[in-house]
Structure 1
Amino acid sequence: MAISALQFERSKYAPKLPKALQGPVKVVVGKETESVADQEEIQKLFPNTYGMPLITFEEGADTGSLPVMNVGVILSGGQAPGGHNVISGIYDGLKKLNPENKLYGFLGGPGGLVDHEYMELTDEIIDEYRNTGGFDIIGSGRTKLEEEAQFDKGVEICKELNINALVVIGGDDSNTNACVLAEYYLQKETGIQVIGCPKTIDGDLKNEMIETSFGFDTAIKVYSELIGNIMRDANSAKKYWHFIKLMGRSASHIALECALQTRPNVTLISEEVAEKEQTLAEIVDYIANVIARRAEDDHNFGVILVPEGLIEFIPEMKTLITELNDLLAEGQQSANEFKALVTDAEKRTYVIGKLSETSSKVFASLPEGIAKQLTLDRDPHGNVQVSKIETEKLLIEMVDVRLAEMTEEGTYKGSFSAQNHFFGYEGRCAAPSNFDADYCYSLGATASVLIGNGKTGYMSSVRNTTKPADKWIAGGVPITMMMNMERRHGHMKPVIQKALVELDAAPFLKLAENREQWAVETSYVYPGPIQYFGPTEVCDATTKTLELEQGK
């Protein structure tokens, strides 16, 4: 296979590990845990895995090889930079425990486990994928593991291959499924362990034990480079306003981090919109006023960052979307009736007639394109697919109308020309930054130690990540500790609690402190591409979010 010069050099990179994982490992058992909320309900649903203790690794004494173990690995959900290094870390960790251990990759995500599609991962295969982006080593998928028949099919193939443990590499929903699987396998006494690894570029799988999900660091560096390039172009041409939508379904971590990296004129934060109960009209007014203020200095250009999930946080839109999710949920009679309709006009009329009076008015007021996007097929979790909603175009259209009104009022005397962008897939499969290469490899190595020590229902945890890698703290956190109950498909279900942007935390406060200055002035910062080689302060730098959260 032909490879680029960078990939050739990158294959030589040896990921750094926490000191505790560099030799024999001692397992230190910490305090027992409870779920972040809804303790009674979660404990009833997970009687075998609830309340398990935190685990930390320390340097230990050599105890020789452990018995032979075979392990299966699954990549679940959307891609994130560093997935291949997680698998490399698992592989090397297993071989360190016993050279006879084998690692099997289930193909195409969780569906590979159910359909018995797999491949054995060997030295030759692993070495080809070290420090590379993407999930193409075994592929990923969005099949949800939530039915006993699926679990039992998994048992069949695990018994056939003598697999002792499964590692699920995924986001909050995938790791929730991993916990359900661990609970079921314990209940049925199958002897199969299940370990999770925290993956999502969205950054919303985080808590006191999971400081960041892997892939976030690389993705924001890719997006920040692109934003910086657009800023340089905007400042050169001086005639365009760029509306940039950034991936991040529920939380605004990507938009916030990219804002701290690049200093745009406007950054919308979904969580702030929800907290202040801002209407769509108020958001449009805010943007239009910034544009008008810059026009007073003949600056008819700028950059605006829009989080992907914004539309779900605007109060009247959130209510509308909740009603639409329930109306169009799989299995509902109304969903079947809706799908049977032929024309967009028929569908629009049908929806308006089924919603509450307030939501009907909101839905009827939306441009046809946006209204149609809101009624597209739901994702596997029953939610609207926000990546398909062109929020940035909606804002451009509404801002254009508002500026025309302001021109007539005499409060705006500039020219407005807009460009729209959506940065999402560009960042999901980039070659991992040094941080993600190290972090992911450490997560994989941690998973292998958890397996070697007979643990199940745990997620790999690597903390203290603003320090050099050898000072990172590795261990395991019970997945039930992160859970709460949420409404999905019209029913209450246990899920890992999403971490949204905290408005009283240092990263957001840094943005709030500077947003007025950045709005009016052209304070752009141009981060440039990810640096893989060079000074440590450039190549191994963590995100601004982590630095601010940990007081660096």
Structure 2
Amino acid sequence: MTKSPLQIARAQYAPKLPKSLRNNSVVIVDGEKTQSVADQADIEKLFPHTYGMPLLSFEGSDASVELPVANVGVILSGGQAPGGHNVISGIFDGLKKLNPNNKLYGFLGGPGGLVDHKYMELTADVIDEYRNTGGFDIIGSGRTKLEETWQFDKGVEICKELDINAVVIIGGDDSNTNACVLAEYYLEQNTGVQVIGCPKTIDGDLKNDMIETSFGFDTACKVYSELIGNIMRDANSAKKYWHFIKLMGRSASHIGLECALQTQPNICLISEEVAEKKQTLGAVVTEMANVIAKRAANGENFGVALIPEGLIEFIPEMKTLISELNDLLAEGHDSANEFKATPKADRLEWVANHLSDASSVVFRSLPAGIATQLTLDRDPHGNVQVSKIETEKLLIEMVEVKLAEMKEAGSYAGSFSSQNHFFGYEGRCAAPSNFDADYCYSIGFTASVLIAQGKTGYMSSVRNTTAPAEEWIAGGVPVTMMMNMERRHGHMKPVIQKALVELDGKPFLAFAAKRDEWAEMTSFVYPGPIQYWGPSEVCDLTTKTLIEERK
């Protein structure tokens, strides 16, 4: 494999660890008993063996302890996020420190590898090739959902064959929900197989007091902010284009908010605020057009607007419509089968006729292209594939119409030319920042300790992350603590509650205090590329979101 000079140099980076994980051994301290964030009775009934477990924190010990052999299997689940390879490196190094005879197996292609018994042993030679690199290509990822008993049983078969004591699932909220279901079943069946989760998602919506941030968020936002800054510089040079940039984040606007704090755009829509204000699509368009008109009055017919990927789901009228569509087109339902049997030319009319009166009006008002995108095949969780909805183009089209109306009314005298962008995959497999390299390695190392201590149904947790790495607090949080009940595929199911942007939270308030100034002025900031070597205040800086939250 040919490597770039950066890859060669980066391979030598030694991730930093919390002090408790650098000692000879670790003592686990039990904290308070926990309960789920909502629907406590329902969650406890579904998870009788793993509900109510205590929070865990680690303390270092100088005692030398070599534990019995513990073989572990690891799974990468869902979309990629920078730092996944370092999570696996941390698990590997942690296991070898506990007992040099421990083995780590990687299940190939995601959770499906566990079910289909596709795996490889991850030896030191393999691990060393992937330290501090982006991507999930060491074993590949996948979106197979572990939901059926027969899948769990197939997993037990391969674990017994390989003498695997524990499985680590590296994934987002749905993947870690599946990890908890698996842990519960394996305890109930007395299989002897533990299950530990690790918090991954660039979207930043898997977090709480014990999970301060999901890994990959830091790196992805730095990559997107570099690209946004480059576009801002171009916009400020050419002075003739409005750039509408859609950013990843289907269920929350954390990426958009973080990138706004880093780059200071003229417009940044926050989906959660749109929902709170109960804004219509027309109101959002008017708000954007007013900013464009105000800048034009100052002679600045250019700017940058950031748009969260999931915006359309947060507009109340659209959210209602999408909810009805999710139920109408849920896989396996008679209505979904009837829809598929309808000739393509007639499908939009068929859908409109099967919606409530209010949603039918909204659906019929949409451009045919957007309406069609809303009826495409659902994602594995039964939801509209929002990333396929070209929201940025829809807004450009509607803003153009609004500006034409304003020009006719005499309230706009500028010119409007647009460019559209979608930044998504560009950030998912970047080489991890120093923060993510350290954080991911610590998460993986923490998982190995939880396994050694016989824990299951826990998510690896590393806190106090705005302090130097040696002061980070490692431990574990019961996955059931983060759960509530939500409708999926037309049925109520237990899932980890997504963390949305809090409109009374410090990051949003910091943004809200400056956005009017940024809207009218050209206050662009150009973050530049991720730096791996140099001053700590540049190279080890974490997200502005985390800094604001932990002030």
TM over 0.5: yes
* Residue 513 of structure 2: aligned partner: 513
* Residue 160 of structure 1: aligned partner: 161
Are the counterparts in 2 of residues 271 and 500 from structure 1 also a CA contact under 8 Å? yes
User: C-alpha deviations, 1:279-322, integer Å up to 9, x for none?
Assistant: 00000000000000000011000000000000000000000000
User: C-alpha deviations, 1:92-127, integer Å up to 9, x for none?
Assistant: 000000000000000000000000000000010000
Query: Is 1:438–2:428 an aligned residue pair?
Result: no
- Tell me the amino acid that sits aligned with residue 297 of structure 2: E
* Residue 391 of structure 1: aligned partner: 391
* Residue 496 of structure 1: aligned partner: 496
- Tell me the amino acid that sits aligned with residue 107 of structure 1: L
Counterparts of 2:257 and 2:27, CA distance in 1: 38
Cα displacement (A) at 1:63: 3.9
Counterparts of 1:197 and 1:547, CA distance in 2: 22
User: C-alpha deviations, 1:327-356, integer Å up to 9, x for none?
Assistant: 00001111111112232x301010001000
- Tell me the amino acid that sits aligned with residue 272 of structure 1: E
Counterparts of 1:249 and 1:95, CA distance in 2: 38
RMSD: 0.5
SS class of match (2:512): helix
* Residue 417 of structure 1: aligned partner: 417
- Tell me the amino acid that sits aligned with residue 498 of structure 1: K
Counterparts of 2:340 and 2:527, CA distance in 1: 46
* Residue 308 of structure 1: aligned partner: 309
Counterparts of 1:520 and 1:473, CA distance in 2: 43
* Residue 201 of structure 1: aligned partner: 202
Are the counterparts in 2 of residues 26 and 61 from structure 1 also a CA contact under 8 Å? no
User: C-alpha deviations, 1:156-178, integer Å up to 9, x for none?
Assistant: 00000000000000000000000
Query: Is 1:67–2:73 an aligned residue pair?
Result: no
Are the counterparts in 2 of residues 251 and 499 from structure 1 also a CA contact under 8 Å? yes
- Tell me the amino acid that sits aligned with residue 403 of structure 2: L
* Residue 361 of structure 2: aligned partner: 361
* Residue 148 of structure 1: aligned partner: 149
The two structures have a TM-score, normalised by structure 2, of 0.99
* Residue 107 of structure 2: aligned partner: 106
* Residue 35 of structure 1: aligned partner: 36
User: C-alpha deviations, 1:366-406, integer Å up to 9, x for none?
Assistant: 00110000000000000000000000000000000000000
* Residue 215 of structure 1: aligned partner: 216
* Residue 380 of structure 2: aligned partner: 380
* Residue 269 of structure 1: aligned partner: 270
SS class of match (1:223): helix
Cα displacement (A) at 1:31: 1.1
User: C-alpha deviations, 1:59-99, integer Å up to 9, x for none?
Assistant: 11324210011000000000000000000000000000000
Counterparts of 2:445 and 2:298, CA distance in 1: 55
Counterparts of 2:221 and 2:462, CA distance in 1: 20
* Residue 20 of structure 1: aligned partner: 20
- Tell me the amino acid that sits aligned with residue 200 of structure 2: K
Counterparts of 1:231 and 1:304, CA distance in 2: 10
SS class of match (2:514): helix
User: C-alpha deviations, 1:13-38, integer Å up to 9, x for none?
Assistant: 00000000002211111111101111
Counterparts of 1:39 and 1:487, CA distance in 2: 16
- Tell me the amino acid that sits aligned with residue 336 of structure 1: N
Residues 228-239 of structure 1 aligned to structure 2 (within 5 Å): 228-239=229-240
In the alignment of these two chains, the number of paired residues is 550
Residues 468-483 of structure 1 aligned to structure 2 (within 5 Å): 468-483=468-483
User: C-alpha deviations, 1:387-443, integer Å up to 9, x for none?
Assistant: 000000000000000000001000000000010000000000000000000000000
Are the counterparts in 2 of residues 244 and 304 from structure 1 also a CA contact under 8 Å? yes
* Residue 318 of structure 1: aligned partner: 319
* Residue 545 of structure 1: aligned partner: 545
Query: Is 1:522–2:522 an aligned residue pair?
Result: yes
Counterparts of 2:405 and 2:54, CA distance in 1: 61
Query: Is 1:259–2:260 an aligned residue pair?
Result: yes
User: C-alpha deviations, 1:157-204, integer Å up to 9, x for none?
Assistant: 000000000000000000000000000000000000000000000000
Are the counterparts in 2 of residues 33 and 54 from structure 1 also a CA contact under 8 Å? yes
* Residue 94 of structure 2: aligned partner: 93
Name stretches of at least 5 consecutive residues in structure 1 with no aligned partner: none
Query: Is 1:76–2:77 an aligned residue pair?
Result: yes
* Residue 181 of structure 1: aligned partner: 182
* Residue 484 of structure 1: aligned partner: 484
User: C-alpha deviations, 1:497-535, integer Å up to 9, x for none?
Assistant: 000000001100011101110000000000000000100
Query: Is 1:282–2:286 an aligned residue pair?
Result: no
- Tell me the amino acid that sits aligned with residue 301 of structure 1: F
Counterparts of 1:520 and 1:29, CA distance in 2: 52
Counterparts of 1:420 and 1:374, CA distance in 2: 20
- Tell me the amino acid that sits aligned with residue 324 of structure 2: E
Counterparts of 1:249 and 1:144, CA distance in 2: 19
Counterparts of 2:62 and 2:469, CA distance in 1: 21
User: C-alpha deviations, 1:218-249, integer Å up to 9, x for none?
Assistant: 00000000000000000000000000000001
Query: Is 1:8–2:25 an aligned residue pair?
Result: no
- Tell me the amino acid that sits aligned with residue 475 of structure 1: G
Counterparts of 1:171 and 1:105, CA distance in 2: 18
The two structures have a TM-score, normalised by structure 1, of 0.99
SS class of match (1:197): strand
Counterparts of 1:532 and 1:375, CA distance in 2: 44
User: C-alpha deviations, 1:420-475, integer Å up to 9, x for none?
Assistant: 00000000000000000000000000000000000000000000000000000000
- Tell me the amino acid that sits aligned with residue 169 of structure 1: I
Counterparts of 1:220 and 1:138, CA distance in 2: 25
